[in-house]
Amino acid sequence: MTGLLIRGATTLGGAQEDIRVREGRIVATGSLLPELRETVIDAAGLVALPGLVDLHTHLREPGGEASETVLTGTRAAAAGGFTAVFAMANTSPVADTAGVVEQVASLGHRHGYATVRPIGAVTVGLAGERLSEIGAMARSRAAVRVFSDDGKCVHDALLMRRALEYVATFDGVIAQHAQEPRLTEGAQMNEGALSGELGLAGWPAVAEEAIIARDVLLAQHVGARLHVCHVSTAGSVDVIRWAKARGIAVTAEVTPHHLLLTEELARGYDARFKVNPPLRRDEDVHALRTALADGTIDIVATDHAPHPAEAKECTWAEAAFGMVGLESALPVVQTAMIETGMLGWADIARVLSTAPAAIGRLEGYESPLAEGSAAHLTLVDPAARRTWGADDLHGRSSNTPYTGVELAGAIVATVHGGVPTLLDGALRPAEEVARG
């Protein structure tokens, strides 16, 4: 492809601008740029965002290719407007060595749909017993900066302290899955009146809040960066707000589904709604939205967790935790945050692109849509509304909670490093994307 001219997009300042892309960079912005020999995208009525960055994706490769691969996961990412994803470490083998993280990063690079930045495991085999080779992963070609045992909590306080201290030496961050294991043994959904009524073992909010409280104090004590994964309760928001007020280097994420869905959906025992952490109460959703709006929660991250059909077509207790979320992330956030007037599009750019890139030390997102910057961008039709169906999913699994649900907005185009991965709402063929 010779280059791109994006004509008349609404930029974050609200103006209509043309954006010219050449050789992976934005080379010019302005109005009525002359048309050269290039592909022209008519972006009238579309909002131009910096390419979205997901700090929390499960790509499942290696080992879980029946659920997702780096290729299918990054295709889903491109369809959802993402140009970079951070791939969680709970693969098989676990991403706890330089070899595995380099393999994952290289698969992403080869396919080209999105930049893949692997997340390294904090502990060997996610077993919570010994630190993994964090330094080797950091120095590898994958240049890992985010470490997490996500899916499991680093529950040993001493090990967590050591991990925080260790990664601080190369500006890394520990992304904690905050779940006190003893308080959540057998837990199936949020603990409350509904879990009591449905006879499902409850997952108390305090199991999340207690770990966050401990970890922010540890981060302060050792002077390291802590990132809290998928915050789900109002009490967690209170703890993070308190920690930030004390100047502790803590950042936090919320998933799109925790901004929109509540535990009431468990009433039908439909395992698509079984997720870790669980869907919570209305009051929690309200607190999470408020915290995202006031900056207490820094970013939105999908926790895209693909599972094959058989892992969900079973009883609630047997079903796997998790839901896919890359394709629906922006429509859900638009529905929950923009349509409620709590965020504007510039905020969306921050919480879904520049801030997650900054937390993960991902370069190329520092000056979004500015001349000279890397051409990672996403065009959104904010006026669209559509009812979600299987056709909206591009990964290998279909465990979405939004089938049959009307959501706002539509991703029209995604450009990764100057290469369109999605045009007119359709993914471009793999060979064209890989060629660049």
Partner 1 sequence: MKHLLSTRDLDRAAAVRLLDVAEDMALTATREVRKLPTLRGRTVVNLFFEDSTRTRLSFESAAKRLSADVITFSAKGSSVSKGESLKDTAQTLQAMGADAIVVRHPSSGAAHQLAHSGWIDAHVLNAGDGTHEHPTQALLDAFTMRSRRFGGDSRGRDLNGMRVLIVGDVLHSRVARSNVWLLETLGAEVHLCAPRTLLPAGVGSWPARIHHDLDAALATGPDAVMMLRVQQERMHDAFFPSALEYAREYGLTAERFGRLEADTMVMHPGPMNRGLEISSAAADSARSTVLEQVTNGVFIRMASLYLLIAGADDAPRPSGADA
Binding residues vs partner 1 (CB under 8 A) = 188, 191-202, 204, 268-269, 310, 313-318
Please tell me the distance from the alpha carbon of residue 196 to that of residue 193, in angstroms, as a whole number: 5
At residue 94, what are phi and psi to the nearest 5 degrees?
Answer: -65, 145
- CB of 222 or CB of 265, closer to partner 1: 265
Taking the complex as a whole, the smallest distance from the CB of residue 269 to partner 1 amounts, in Å, to 3
Strands (E), 23-136: 25-30, 39-42, 47-50, 52-57, 82-87, 115-118
Taking the complex as a whole, the smallest distance from the CB of residue 398 to partner 1 amounts, in Å, to 15
Please tell me the distance from the alpha carbon of residue 277 to that of residue 323, in angstroms, as a whole number: 11
- CB of 192 or CB of 425, closer to partner 1: 192
- CB of 58 or CB of 312, closer to partner 1: 312
Q: Dig out the tokens for 147 from the structure.
A: 């470490």
Taking the complex as a whole, the smallest distance from the CB of residue 293 to partner 1 amounts, in Å, to 29
Q: How far from 274 is each of 167, 181, 187, CA to CA, in Å?
A: 33, 18, 11
At residue 179, what are phi and psi to the nearest 5 degrees?
Answer: -155, 105
Q: Give the catalytic positions in this structure.
A: 303
- CB of 2 or CB of 315, closer to partner 1: 315
Closest CA to 232 of 202, 200, 267, 207: 207
Closest CA to 54 of 325, 285, 347, 320: 325
Taking the complex as a whole, the smallest distance from the CB of residue 266 to partner 1 amounts, in Å, to 9
Taking the complex as a whole, the smallest distance from the CB of residue 206 to partner 1 amounts, in Å, to 12
Please tell me the distance from the alpha carbon of residue 204 to that of residue 118, in angstroms, as a whole number: 31
- CB of 58 or CB of 280, closer to partner 1: 280
